Amino acid sequence: MSYNRGVRILENPTSLTTPTVGKAAFQVVVGASPVNLAEDPYNSTNVVKLAYSLTEASAAVGYSKNLKDYNLNQSISATFEKFAVAPIALINVLDPKKHKEAIPKANYPVDALQTTVNIEGLLLDTLMIENGETLLQAEVDYITSFDESGYAVITLLESGAGKDAVALSIAGDKIDPSKVTSADIIGGYNVNTGKESGLELIRQVYPLYGMVPGLILSPGYSRDPAVASVMATKCLKINGLFTCECIVDLDSTPEGATKYTDVKTVKERSRFVSEHMEAVWPKVRIGDEIYYYSALYAALIAYTDANNDDVPNLSASNKALPITGLCLDDESSSEIVIDQEQANTVNGFGVVTALNFNGFRSWGNNSAAYPQTTDPKDRWFCCRRFFSWWGNAFILNYFQKVDEQADTRLIEAICDAENIRGNSYTAQGKCAGARITYNEDENPIENILNGKIQFRQYLAPYTPAEDILNVLEFDPTILEAALGGE
């Protein structure tokens, strides 16, 4: 232990902004992450992890600045670094026992008892480190850690067999995210083990954490129609009760929509038609960082809700985006420029995009069901989310009433509570109105005898003011009055 005397300082890294907590748009993200950087790499696969901060997300599933190969990094960055909102549920499907490859043995120079292996994804427990003919032992001859780039740093111990080494021979395994497929994202149920994987794990979110999923996403993988279809299905009857929405990426690869006029064809080909789905196009960039738009857009929705008393009545359209451009999903991330007229055309196909109008802004209100569906409840995504959120809240609020005596007290208690709730949100301007009724003709004695009670609730969330028109007209009388004096 060193002997300290005098005046000293120590600088800590700048703390991130404390995230704003909101649960209406609780994101559940399925994808791949650098699990070798997680606290427990072998217990971070196909497990639902909850995070309220970047630190918690990093410990749970690993985190690095590699946004290209790990889509969970995109959602973690968008949520905690770009919008500072929480929480988020992360489901990593990359299995370090399955999605891996061997790295060839190579020599690495040692400087001041340290050497850095400039290879991403190294699994530390697989490393074979030799000093000449001597195989070194972890925690006896050396210790390992990761630097900010995610590279393994080998530090030799002065008491170990490698203290005099000038170079180390190193081999081992690394995770390979390219081996993660759409089938891994979709996942399923293993009848032999009883284990669930991929999107099937959404069922576990509420039982584990007591929070209802608000948005389901899988940046990049969701451009696959098979993945998007399962995502839309998983939005319905979660745990047999709850409803939510999903954000999917419309394909912008060379085989997809490379210009705005392609969007309609690609959307129809992809069968993005669910009212519980919002499709976004194309990808976005922040300097040199490239994101699938769904990662940024879902975080934007969560941020909008969290700063609106956690009520999802506001549209996330025409909100500022911290991006510097739009791009395609090709090798060079080709830039694409969209003006308002083109963006409106994309919106008309039921797809959300972004445009630069004195700064980049999200643009679009329609769910993927538009234009086939024009019902305001299902067409406007903010209205669709409001209905899902209200229904989920009703279930949570009155679950305790199940199995109580089916008498007038119960009926009146529910009606009074819901009408008070509706009046409160109406007074706050969160909706135009909300009321609930109990009708005797909808509750015949046969149903009552079978323990069934039905209510009818009317909700009127505000629709977005998507088209504001001001008609200008020349008024000659004003000119005449101005020139004619008194």
DSSP string across 262-285: GHHHHHHHHT---TTEEEE-SEEE
Q: What is the pLDDT of residues 312-338, one digit of tens each?
A: 999 999 999 999 999 999 999 999 999
pLDDT digits (tens, 9 = 90+) for 342-392: 999 999 999 999 999 999 999 999 999 999 999 999 999 999 999 999 999
Share of the chain above pLDDT 90, in %: 91
In sequence order, what are the beta bridge partners of 28? Answer: 89, 216
Which pLDDT score is estimated for 14?
54
CA dihedral (126, 129, 134, 140) in degrees, to 10, reads: -80
pLDDT at residue 1, as a whole number? 41
Segment among 38-42, 73-77, 162-166 with least mean pLDDT: 162-166
Q: In 264-297, which positions are buried (b, 16+ CB within 10 angstroms) versus exposed (e)?
A: bebbeebebbbbbbbbbbbbbebeebbbbbbbbb
Query: How far apart are alpha carbons 176 and 102 in whole angstroms?
Result: 10
CB 34 within 8 A of CB 63: yes
Average the pLDDT over 176-183 and give the result.
97
Instruction: Taking residues 225-230, report their average pLDDT.
Output: 98
Strand partners, 117: 152
pLDDT band at 162 (very low <50, low <70, confident <90, very high): confident
Structure confidence at residue 5 (pLDDT):
53
**304: enclosing H helix or E strand:** helix 293-306
Place 17 in a pLDDT band, splitting at 50, 70 and 90.
low
Q: What is the pLDDT of residue 19?
A: 81
Q: Decide if pLDDT at 120 tops 60.
A: yes
Supply the mean pLDDT for the chain: 94
Give the containing element (helix H, strand E) for 117: strand 114-117
User: Three-state SS for 216?
Assistant: strand
Q: Considering the entire predicted model, what is its pTM?
A: 0.92
Residue 16 or residue 36, greater confidence:
36
Q: pLDDT band at residue 13, thresholds of 50, 70 and 90?
A: low
